[in-house]
Amino acid sequence: MTSQQRVVVIGGGLAGLRFAARLGPAAAVTVLGEEPHAPYNRVLLAEVLAGRYGADVAALPDPGPALRRGVRAVRIDRAGRRVHCDDGTAHAYDVLVLATGSNPVLPALRGLLRPGGGELPAGVHAFRTMDDCLALGAAAGPGVRAVVIGGGLLGVSAARALAARGAHVVLAQQAQRLMERQLDADASALLHAHLTALGVEIHTECRVRGLTTTDTPSAAPSGHRRVSGVELADGYRLAADIVVLACGVRPRTGLAQAAGLEVRKGVVVDDRLRTSDPAVHAIGDCAEHAGRLYGLAGPALEQADALAATLTGSPAGYTGTRALTRLTLGGAGRPLDLAAFGDPTPLPGDDVVRLADATRRTYRKVVLRGDRLVGGVLLGELSTVGALARTWEGDEPLDAPYDMFHLLTDDGGH
Ligand SMILES: Cc1cc2nc3c(=O)[nH]c(=O)nc-3n(C[C@H](O)[C@H](O)[C@H](O)COP(=O)(O)OP(=O)(O)OC[C@H]3O[C@@H](n4cnc5c(N)ncnc54)[C@H](O)[C@@H]3O)c2cc1C
């Protein structure tokens, strides 16, 4: 790669901006970012919504004029090596990087969209962007009734943040327990108790069937409707001023698909983060590597770093990320820290070390198969998370059960 080469990045989020920063002056980089805001880290949006941080704390380093804010790429012309944008501009590239992130999944709810699509009813928000966060923050407050649909990482974060704003929050979770993909039953129960203590009313095994809406004055941009409630599958109706859709995310692959690139669940990339067109790369939430979609910040950053290194001559490539999920759920004087990785549910023959303290509301568990960690959860007591993360991410062999015990207590076994 030379400094004359034109690199265009589509997406000014975590992965795209990190890649641009890592590449530095090695090439002429243009980042196309459809969001009008100064760059920000969406991992911190829940803290902004909770009022714990101002939006400035979530800021990412701004690459200056290299970032075209408020500009959406609408078409990739692979034959002509140009990206066409909604403001009429076209950007020629030698190397194109897709870093388009994810879209929130819109669940199939009666009353959510009118036949043929259109806007969501006023009061209904996803929880993905700074705009979502600012709109929710403006609407939430004491006496406001909020229903959060989904009890995964996003739903739990949103529910806690809205409760911190004084809203009356009901969380409707279709699965049997909260964060069922990351936590085992005991850790989920502790999280449930923590959120309940923060004032969140939690309904598990609770399927939302539809929304009820009322008409609003014709000037509203939402197709003249405002949400008034949520209908559950058992016929019960919850009144709602705000509804948050936290039903997962889907990689944003439309541009890649229209350009004829290979797309399965995400944009398929190889170990050099190349798509089926060697001039086009993909990183972050939109990329599918070795059959895996991550949807997490750590892998997005690692892919951005790996691609910048690859393009500047490193032979190392990208072999996957063993990521830890981290979350802090604040409460007045009672924050709950959580870290989870791999699969915390043991198979027959696995070794398990589990330390639970009901009084201090802490829970620590690791699962070992042979001499390798395969999963674990830390809740409420994260003093060994650094050592555990290093062991997990490095896939280091362990001397069980001695090392495992130490991974949960003092010195990480090293
Ligand atoms: C509320 C919230 C909390 C989260 N918490 C955690 C957490 O605790 N831990 C964790 O690991 N992960 C967390 N995540 C996930 C994490 O934020 C993502 O994995 C990460 O942001 C992925 O980075 P990305 O650059 O791939 O995508 P994004 O950060 O989503 O950036 C993609 C950008 O591309 C732009 N874009 C898309 N298409 C176009 C186009 N055609 N033209 C121009 N621009 C375009 C989008 O507008 C967006 O700004 C959280 C996500 C959310 C929403």
Strand partners, 372: 369
**Pocket test residue of 9, 14, 250, 382 for ligand 1, highest count of atoms within 8 A of CB:** 14
Distance (Å) of CA 50 to CA 141, 326, 329? 11, 17, 10
**Cα-based angle 134, 140, 145 (whole degrees, multiple of 5):** 140
Q: Same fold for the domain at 6-103+249-311 and the one at 124-245?
A: yes
Nearest to 124 by CA among 135, 116, 115: 135
In this prediction, residue 190 carries a pLDDT of 92
Contact between residue 147 and residue 244 where contact means Cβ atoms under 8 Å apart: yes
pLDDT in 10s for each residue of the chain, 414 residues: 777 799 999 999 999 999 999 998 878 999 999 999 999 999 999 999 999 888 899 999 999 889 999 999 999 999 999 999 999 999 999 999 999 999 999 999 999 988 777 889 999 999 999 999 999 999 999 999 999 999 999 999 999 999 999 999 999 999 999 999 899 999 999 999 999 999 999 999 999 999 999 987 765 555 589 999 999 999 999 999 999 999 999 999 999 999 999 999 999 999 999 999 999 999 999 999 999 999 999 999 999 999 999 999 999 899 999 888 888 887 666 788 999 998 888 999 998 989 998 888 899 999 989 888 999 999 998 888 888 888 888 888 887 666 777 778 764 444
CATH of 6-103+249-311, one of 3.50.50.60, 3.40.50.300, 3.30.360.10, 1.10.3720.10: 3.50.50.60
In this prediction, residue 83 carries a pLDDT of 98
Beta strand pairing status for 336-342 and 372-379? antiparallel
In this prediction, residue 414 carries a pLDDT of 41
Length in residues, the chain:
414
For ligand 1, atom 34, which residue shows the shortest CA distance? 11
What's the N-to-C CA distance of the chain in angstroms?
41
Q: Which tokens go with 321?
A: 């990320």
Q: Give the domain ranges of the chain.
A: 6-103+249-311, 124-245, 325-408
CA 123–ligand 1 middle distance (angstroms): 22
Question: Residue 383 CB: number of other CB atoms within 10 A?
Answer: 13
Q: Which tokens go with 176?
A: 């049997």
Any long-range contacts for 209-218 (C-beta under 8 Å, 24+ apart)? 209/109, 209/110, 209/233, 210/109, 210/110, 210/111, 210/112, 211/109, 211/110, 211/111, 211/112, 211/121, 211/124, 211/243, 212/111, 212/237, 213/111, 213/121, 216/122
Whole-prediction pTM value? 0.93
Residues with CB under 6 A from ligand 1: 10-16, 32-35, 42-43, 45-46, 72-73, 99-102, 127-128, 154, 157, 252, 255, 284-285, 295-298, 300, 325-327
Give the fold, CATH level 3, of 325-408.
Enolase-like; domain 1 (3.30.390)
CA 8–ligand 1 middle distance (angstroms): 18
**Pocket test residue of 9, 18, 35, 43 for ligand 1, highest count of atoms within 8 A of CB:** 43
CA dist 301 and 284 (Å) reads 7
Contact between residue 387 and residue 412 where contact means Cβ atoms under 8 Å apart: yes
- At the fourth CATH level, the homologous superfamily of domain 124-245 is FAD/NAD(P)-binding domain (3.50.50.60)
Q: Which residue has the tokens 């944009």?
A: 267
CA dist 145 and 120 (Å) reads 18
CA 130–ligand 1 middle distance (angstroms): 11
Alpha helix (H) ranges present in 348-413?
385-394, 402-408
In this prediction, residue 411 carries a pLDDT of 46
For ligand 1, atom 45, which residue shows the shortest CA distance? 11
Q: Which tokens go with 248?
A: 């997962």
